[in-house]
A and B are shown apart, each in its own frame.
Chain A
Amino acid sequence: MSDHDHHDDEHLREHDRPLSGPALRAKALESLLVEKGLVDPKALDELIDTYETKVGPRNGARIVARAWADPEYKKRLLADATAAIAEFGFIGRQGEDMVALENTPKIRNVVVCTLCSCYPWPVLGLPPVWYKSAPYRARAVIEPRGVLKELGSEVPEGVEVRVWDSTAELRYLVLPERPAGTEGWSEDELAAIVTRDAMIGVAQVNVPERSGL
């Protein structure tokens, strides 16, 4: 039993308004769940902070850089990506079982989830809007070359395209080709040029123009 009439007037006024938008509905739901003791708002803050500041594509970039710099690590990554990625401590939700896909001069790998939005959170963070969007989910499997061309990463006719639809609990990380001109770079320097989109497979890694060297 509960009596809401004499506490939290502001809270009540909010709920007396029609819930017009998702922001309001989300706020109403959070208030209800907190009141019921089902969620702790401080834990929500912590979850948000984790994905805003701690877990993101910089994790995946470190994996790629290590694989480029260390042939033994690359072998381990391609043989058992889950274990090789766990060496960095990148484990858990939406990355429980990982597979690494190696791009070569003859093969381009592209990852999609046509049915929902499966994505390797521990190494890439939360998926970007375009990855979750209808255009990408619809088109990546039927016209990957068209999508890649549109995104500025045209695949030559002689190169094979492999599209990986994440329909189960396996999560895929593309190991892009190491660009020429990066010989002798440190892992940190290499990681800095690896992009999220390259690890999804819709871009290649390029050496940025460097000035003042």
Chain B
Amino acid sequence: MNGVHDMGGMHGMGPVEIERNEPVFHSKWEARVLALNIACGFHRKWNIDVSRHSLERIPPSEYLAATYYEKWLRRLETLLVENGLVTTRELESGRAESKASSLAPLRVPEVASFLRNRRHARLDDNVPPRFRPGERVLTRNDHPTGHTRLPRYARGRRGVIDRDHGVFIFADTHAMTRDKKPQHCYSVRFSARELWGPGASARDSVYVDLWDDHLDPA
């Protein structure tokens, strides 16, 4: 979707300000929200792509006004309701109307292994690559209303396959229908001038990780 989350190349956002000796969390509730997101993910009712798409669906004015963990809180509320773990009424009242009978929560002894487990975005499926390193490609000029990992600034642009990362879950379909649609994911190199015009440095480039379904031969 052409949302405000797709920020690459936007102007007017102001300076980048690095906070010296920044704490991991700026308040206790931020830490709780991070932990709640991870602990609820333990139930495997959604995947990371569904989860990212939930952030993108926050209305633009609210997305820009909210802090990072405010967005995470809102995202979690959405995911819990949409995936049937909590009802809207429960969320509004703050009171449970029923216990989640069949689900066991993440427990302390399981935390370390849960964080260390690979979540298999990379797949073993034997899918042939459509492109080889060094090949020239043209990215699709598509504007899907759902989730996509092809940023607007890189649509309809010419690039070169820098490396083939192997076969991965295709995030664009995985977020919308949970179809993994296994295919190769590549690092695609774009010259800065191809993306930003003659004002950009002739030396510089931007590498974007894209899948077969984002690309056509150039």
Residues of A bordering B, CB below 8 Å = 1-2, 4, 15, 22-23, 25-33, 35-40, 42-48, 50-52, 56, 91-93, 96-97, 99, 112, 114-117, 125-126, 128-130, 132-142, 144-145, 147, 150-151, 158-170, 197, 202
List B contacts of A134 (CB < 8 A).
Answer: 7, 10, 13-14, 64
Query: Are B55 and A168 within 8 A (Cβ)?
Result: no
Bound CA span A112–B204, Å: 15
List B contacts of A159 (CB < 8 A).
Answer: 203
Cβ-based interface call for B195 (8 A) = yes
List B contacts of A112 (CB < 8 A).
Answer: 8
List B contacts of A1 (CB < 8 A).
Answer: 98
Bound CA span A138–B39, Å: 31
Given contacts A151-B18, A162-B207, contact A93 B115 (CB under 8 A): yes
How many chain B residues sit at the interface, stated as a range, is 35 or more
Given contacts A44-B32, A169-B121, contact A129 B8 (CB under 8 A): no
List B contacts of A139 (CB < 8 A).
Answer: 13, 16
User: Pick the contact of A160 from B31, B33, B70, B203 — CB < 8 Å?
Assistant: B203
List A contacts of B105 (CB < 8 A).
Answer: 37-40, 43
Residues of B bordering A, CB below 8 Å = 5-11, 13-19, 22, 24-29, 31-36, 38-40, 43, 52, 55, 64, 67-70, 73, 76-77, 80, 85-86, 90-91, 93-101, 103, 105-108, 110-112, 115-122, 149-151, 153-154, 165, 168-169, 171, 185, 187, 192, 195-196, 200-201, 203-211
List A contacts of B200 (CB < 8 A).
Answer: 142
Bound CA span A182–B163, Å: 33
Query: Are A96 and B153 within 8 A (Cβ)?
Result: no
Given contacts A26-B73, A168-B149, A169-B168, contact A44 B39 (CB under 8 A): yes
Given contacts A36-B100, A151-B18, A168-B211, contact A163 B11 (CB under 8 A): no
Among residues of B, the one whose C-beta sits closest to the C-beta of A168 is B209
Given contacts A50-B112, A162-B207, contact A141 B16 (CB under 8 A): no
Query: Are B73 and A168 within 8 A (Cβ)?
Result: no
Bound CA span A44–B93, Å: 23
Among residues of B, the one whose C-beta sits closest to the C-beta of A197 is B18
Given contacts A50-B112, A129-B22, 17 further A-B contacts (CB under 8 A): A27-B32, A29-B77, A29-B91, A30-B36, A35-B95, A37-B105, A43-B35, A43-B110, A44-B35, A47-B35, A48-B35, A93-B116, A144-B204, A161-B203, A164-B206, A168-B121, A168-B149
